[in-house]
Amino acid sequence: MSALDASADVYVQKSDNLDELQAWIRSLLRRRSQDIGATIRYADMKLDPVNHRAWRDGKEIVLTAKEYAILAYFAKSPGKVLTRQDIADNCWKEPFETFTNIIDVYINYLRRKVDAEFSKKLIHTVRGKGYMFEDRG
């Protein structure tokens, strides 16, 4: 198994070129610093990935850790159909039986918290496929 298949971001072969290695390190540090604390915004939704907080139209939405993980995954993939398996793979660390309705239960929790008070809905069901986070306004 290669290092990249084992979830490494970058693989640098052994080299005597110290300048090249330092350039790689600087590049990775720049990329990492841009990811840390970057607010995620979509439509009237704002997410704070550092503190796991969310707001819609300026109103804070209190979420559990799992609800936040799912909402953040949606917000990073707007307009894309996410299957239950996609959501399970990206939001659960422990495996579970995917034929259960746990994903649907959490989507229902999110809809109550994220969409219920607003005329414009962001979480949509794509029949037979999964869910989509999309601003259809």
Residue 54 lies in a domain: no
**Model confidence pTM above 0.95:** no
Q: Which domain holds residue 3?
A: 1-36
Do 23 and 75 lie in a common domain?
A: no
Residue 86 lies in a domain: yes
Cβ–Cβ under 8 Å, residues 128 and 122: no
DSSP state of 113: I
Q: pLDDT of the chain along its 137 residues, tens only?
A: 455 555 566 666 666 778 877 777 777 666 654 555 678 999 999 999 989 999 999 999 999 999 999 999 999 999 999 999 999 999 998 877 767 899 999 999 999 999 999 999 999 999 999 999 999 86
End-to-end Cα, the chain, rounded Å: 46
